[in-house]
Structure 1
């Protein structure tokens, strides 16, 4: 879809890329001089897709050129990252959950890209992850659901979005001694029918993906994993408030560029992202979807990526998760 204007080593590579061109900065040609492509790992209606389209519309207006959103879903976001590395005209950006760069290397022995080819631009939004279950009047909170699962060892199932939600759920199931089976889906949103029909008992997805069913009463929102409650669901507790603080983590979506993009241009794009994120009516569009706009500098995103990488690497070690070949 086009929007037309109205006129560890991997983490270190990202951090280093933030400064890679600072010493050779010089006057650059006008940018953009053609349509900009915004690549996202989300399928239609997912958090990355929705947020990317909201940003695309506003950035197109600021840049005076169309911004096209390209969906490259699959493989925990690595297909979208790979696609970005193949673009050579300087007019492609990546908008992704950062676990595509920090958690995917922990899950896959081989990646279809070199993380050193990716450079940070700006955080885009903070995303809320939700723990959900079938809607049962008898089970009103996460502690009750956990207790009910323990009563049926080996008979129940769980699923999650890929990346950090998957690692978080692996740890949660193990720490709580839950004898459950993991069910894999080509797309995590395909798990929703199984959840609402009782074939899944526990699911973690971005809040935006489950809000329609939660509002319709077909599933139960148990908790959100973020440190604070979501403005979209102020009555839903955090996992800490629900009694499971170890499940806490922050969903983050950010803008990235090929490493060949000059640092000065990435700084300029980050400034435009900050301007869009600061528009009050933009925030009003994002918050009801279970996200909040949050922008920054390339250096700030590099730090977030580095911290996220270290956090999940330690978690993977504790959980005994090893890369798949």
Structure 2
């Protein structure tokens, strides 16, 4: 290669790098799509819409919500993993896709760690145990007694890994023979619980509380180790008679692997500003979410730790990979 040709190649390379750097610095310059693993009306859908409303104001661009429910969130996760890593396709997801699926599903078309770049953790969505209000039980102990008197006849619904693992864990610890009925997301599952087609389910407080307030469902306990400030009148499962029960759903944001660090840092900065606002925290708390933020590095380590935790939870629940 001649010196002149080499100089031209170097100049072109520098031009490309400088152009990319300028684009990153000006990010975002167009609408951003946020892919969700669950359908409309789910806790993830509701809280993400609140967060993106404020992000849109601070970043000056529209955020488009694209829900892709199904296959335990794998459809959505695979979509983002294969998306262009330019900051315009993001993933607002939960422990379902990034902690539990590797141990619930035999095959995954994505790698929760290698295919994504952590942006920030956004909070927790505590779950609660609900039953059809027409069932003659008003406590967890009464539900267990009812189940033992009707062995093999009770069912539990799930619309996420948290609801699935919680249901299987409860059945195993309580000594109940219960059939699992899976759904693409929690709202349609709750419809069948209310309709009496399914006995019970574990659901995030945000999604389930309106039906509890209306009297269509009866809430018996929360899944956190201690009582939740989001539903202080409900006992924990541990208090209610299932010792050591402690399962919580978390939320976080990711970008495809390869997304420039400058973009990730900018998104993290703006997300943290939004999440740490007292009015936003209050708005999310009113809908059942305990909101808080993290750095990308903290989120990355958290996901690694959660993989270890959910491997144990799935194993102890006796769930076989599907």
Number of the residue aligned with 1:103: 100
Shift of 1:138: 4.6
Number of the residue aligned with 1:90: 87
Number of the residue aligned with 2:225: 227
Number of the residue aligned with 1:175: 173
Number of the residue aligned with 2:45: 49
Count of aligned positions: 300
Deviation per CA, 1:160-203, whole angstroms, max 9, x where unpaired?
23213212321221121101222233443222233223332221
* Structure 2 CA distance for partners of 1:227 and 1:275, relative to 1, 3 Å: farther
Query: Does the 8 Å CA contact 1:119/1:257 hold for their aligned counterparts?
Result: yes
Query: Does the 8 Å CA contact 2:160/2:184 hold for their aligned counterparts?
Result: no
CA distance in 2, matches of 1:143, 1:153: 15
More moved, 132-141 vs 198-207: 132-141
TM-score normalised by length of structure 2 = 0.87
* Structure 2 CA distance for partners of 1:219 and 1:319, relative to 1, 3 Å: closer
Number of the residue aligned with 1:112: 109
Query: Does the 8 Å CA contact 1:82/1:112 hold for their aligned counterparts?
Result: yes
Number of the residue aligned with 1:133: 131
TM-score normalised by length of structure 1 = 0.86
Considering only CA atoms, is the larger Rg found in Structure 1 or Structure 2?
2
Q: Does 1:265 align with 2:263?
A: yes
More moved, 138-147 vs 269-278: 138-147
SS of match in other structure, 1:158:
strand
Runs of 4+ in 1 over 4 A off after TM superposition: none
Shift of 1:27: 9.5
Number of the residue aligned with 1:20: none
Query: Does the 8 Å CA contact 2:147/2:154 hold for their aligned counterparts?
Result: yes
Query: Does the 8 Å CA contact 2:130/2:218 hold for their aligned counterparts?
Result: yes
CA distance in 1, matches of 2:135, 2:102: 40
Specify every segment of 5 or more residues in structure 2 that has no aligned partner in the other structure, as ranges: 1-20
SS of match in other structure, 1:123:
strand
Number of the residue aligned with 1:146: 144
Q: Does 1:38 align with 2:37?
A: no
SS of match in other structure, 1:130:
strand
Query: Does the 8 Å CA contact 1:230/1:291 hold for their aligned counterparts?
Result: no
Deviation per CA, 1:104-159, whole angstroms, max 9, x where unpaired?
11121211223311111101121011111122585221111111111111122111
Query: Does the 8 Å CA contact 2:163/2:203 hold for their aligned counterparts?
Result: yes
CA distance in 2, matches of 1:178, 1:205: 19
CA distance in 1, matches of 2:22, 2:243: 48
SS of match in other structure, 2:290:
strand
CA distance in 1, matches of 2:115, 2:87: 13
Which among 65, 74, 85 is matched to residue 70 of structure 2?
Answer: 74
Deviation per CA, 1:192-249, whole angstroms, max 9, x where unpaired?
2332233322211111111111000111111111234333422112212222243311
CA distance in 2, matches of 1:149, 1:315: 23
Specify every segment of 5 or more residues in structure 1 that has no aligned partner in the other structure, as ranges: 1-24
